[in-house]
Amino acid sequence: MTDRVEVESKHAPPLAECAHCEHMLPPGLGERECEVCGAICKVSHEPTIDALIEEKVPCPHCHTILVAGTDERPIELTCGACSGGFVLTEKVVKVEIDCPGCERTLRIRPKPGKRQLNCPACEAAFQVTF
């Protein structure tokens, strides 16, 4: 059994806020449900959709350049040159937060609502809200 080869996309939809409560919506395009207030919001960003469709990805097996051709992620692709298959996955979005105790920059994945963080350098505890 062979392992599934994954290649991360270079493009990600921008982070969007709920129109009702102004908290962050779950990442992605299309209809998203706000995890704070439950409202359904439609997220669309034409430049990102165009970039996802036109994204050029090197085949991990033979390095031939392929065009994704769709805005869906994850998507299974097959190379026309070597017939090798791989999965083009969503880009993992991270934001930078400064620790209020020592001003160290922390990189985290944003999630809707409040989060309790502990700085690994100074062990200060603080909350962030998205």
57/33 Cα distance (integer angstroms) = 31
The Cα 102–Cα 118 span in angstroms is: 12
**What integer pLDDT is reported at residue 1 of this predicted model?**
40
Average pLDDT of span 3-18? 90
Phi, psi of 47 (to 5 degrees): -60, -35
| φ and ψ at residue 80, rounded to 5 degrees | -75, -25
Task: Say if residue 2's pLDDT is above 60.
Answer: no
Q: What is the pLDDT of residue 70?
A: 94
Q: How does pLDDT run across 17-63, given as a tens digit for each residue? A: 999 998 999 988 999 999 889 999 999 999 999 999 999 999 999 99
Q: Give the integer Cα–Cα distance in Å for 18 and 26.
A: 10
pLDDT at 111: 86
23 and 36 Cβ atoms separated by less than 8 Å:
yes
Q: What is the pLDDT of residues 72-125, one digit of tens each?
A: 999 999 999 999 999 999 998 899 999 998 989 999 999 888 889 999 989 899
Contact of 77 with 88, CB cutoff 8 Å: yes
